[in-house]
C-alpha cells in the first residue's frame, strides 16, 4: 500500500490566502514543508480520501494521473474536503429536486483494507465518541491518520490538537486499534494552531507520531 499526502492543511490552507498573522508570515518565510494545501490522501493511485479544491495543483505538482482513481471516499461535504465542481466535467447533466444541506455535519471515518493492510483516516474530527472507540477495538490498524488542526491549542471539539492526538494514539494502542510497528501520522494543520513543521515534529515525534507534509509518501508492505 502506498499512501500519498496530497495536501495537509485545514480549510484556509497554510499560509492563508489573505492572512497576515504571525503564523502565516513565518510559514511563508520558512517555505518548504510549511506550505500546505487542503487535505487529501491518494492510496495506491486508485483511491482518494476527500476531494479538495487543490486537486488540479496536486495533479500537476505530483505528476499524478487522476484518471486512474476508481473510488473517492468523502469524509464530509465542507468545501475544503469536497469540491464537486471539478467532477462536474466528467458527468452528464440531470435534473434533481432541491436537497438543502444541514448546517451541521458529522464527519465520516474510514477504515480501508488493501492487500491485507489497514488504513484509518480521520479528518475534521474532535475526540472520538465512545461508539467509535468501541468500533476500533482490536482493529490492528497499520497506518492511522489523525486530525491535528488545532496544533498547540487545546482542541477536542470538531478538531484535535497535539495533546489530543498524542492521547488518541495512546488509547488506540490500549484498545488494540494499533499493533506493534503501526504508524500514526498527524495532518490537517491550521495556522491558528501556530506550529510550523519542525515545531510540530518536536511536539509529536517523542510520542512516535509523524507529521505529514504535502507530497509525503508512505509505503506499507505486506509481510
pLDDT at res. 221:
78
Q: What share of the chain is helix, strand, coil (3-state, %, to 5)?
A: 25, 25, 50
pLDDT at res. 8:
96
Q: Give residue-wise pLDDT tens across range 82-121.
A: 999 888 767 776 666 666 555 666 788 999 999 899 999 9
Grouping H, G, I as helix, E, B as strand and the rest as coil, residue 77 is coil
Residues in the chain: 223
User: What's the CA gap between 182 and 173, in Å, rounded?
Assistant: 9
pLDDT at res. 102:
55
Q: What is the pTM of this model?
A: 0.76
Name residues of the chain where pLDDT drops below 50: none
Whose CA is closest to 148, among 24, 10, 15? 10
pLDDT at res. 156:
76
**E strands, 148-190, in order:** 178-187
pLDDT at res. 90:
74
- Domains in the chain: ranges and CATH: 2-88+106-219 (3.60.15.10)
**E strands, 78-209, in order:** 110-114, 117-122, 141-147, 178-187
Amino acid at each position: 500500500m502506498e499512501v500519498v499526502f496530497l495536501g495537509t492543511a485545514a480549510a484556509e490552507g497554510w499560509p492563508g490566502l489573505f492572512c497576515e498573522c504571525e503564523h502565516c508570515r513565518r510559514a511563508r518565510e520558512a517555505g518548504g514543508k510549511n506550505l500546505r494545501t487542503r487535505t487529501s490522501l491518494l492510496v495506491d493511485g486508485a483511491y482518494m480520501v476527500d476531494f479538495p479544491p487543490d486537486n488540479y495543483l496536486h495533479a500537476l505538482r505530483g505528476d499524478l494521473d487522476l484518471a486512474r482513481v476508481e473510488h473517492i471516499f468523502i469524509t464530509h461535504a465542507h468545501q475544503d474536503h469536497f469540491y464537486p465542481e471539478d467532477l462536474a466535467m466528467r458527468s452528464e447533466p440531470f435534473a434533481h429536486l432541491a436537497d438543502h444541506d444541514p448546517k451541521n455535519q458529522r464527519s465520516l471515518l474510514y477504515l480501508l483494507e488493501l492487500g491485507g493492510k489497514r488504513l484509518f483516516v480521520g479528518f475534521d474530527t474532535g475526540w472520538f465518541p465512545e461508539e467509535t472507540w468501541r468500533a476500533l477495538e482490536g482493529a490492528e490498524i497499520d497506518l492511522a491518520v489523525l486530525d491535528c488542526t488545532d496544533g498547540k491549542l487545546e482542541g477536542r471539539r470538531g478538531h484535535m490538537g497535539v495533546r489530543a492526538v498524542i492521547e488518541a494514539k495512546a488509547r488506540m494502542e490500549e484498545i488494540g486499534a494499533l499493533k506493534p510497528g503501526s504508524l500514526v501520522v498527524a495532518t490537517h494543520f491550521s495556522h491558528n494552531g501556530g506550529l510550523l513543521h519542525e515545531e510540530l515534529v518536536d511536539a509529536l515525534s517523542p510520542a512516535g507520531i509523524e507529521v505529514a507534509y504535502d507530497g509525503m509518501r508512505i509505503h506499507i508492505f505486506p509481510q
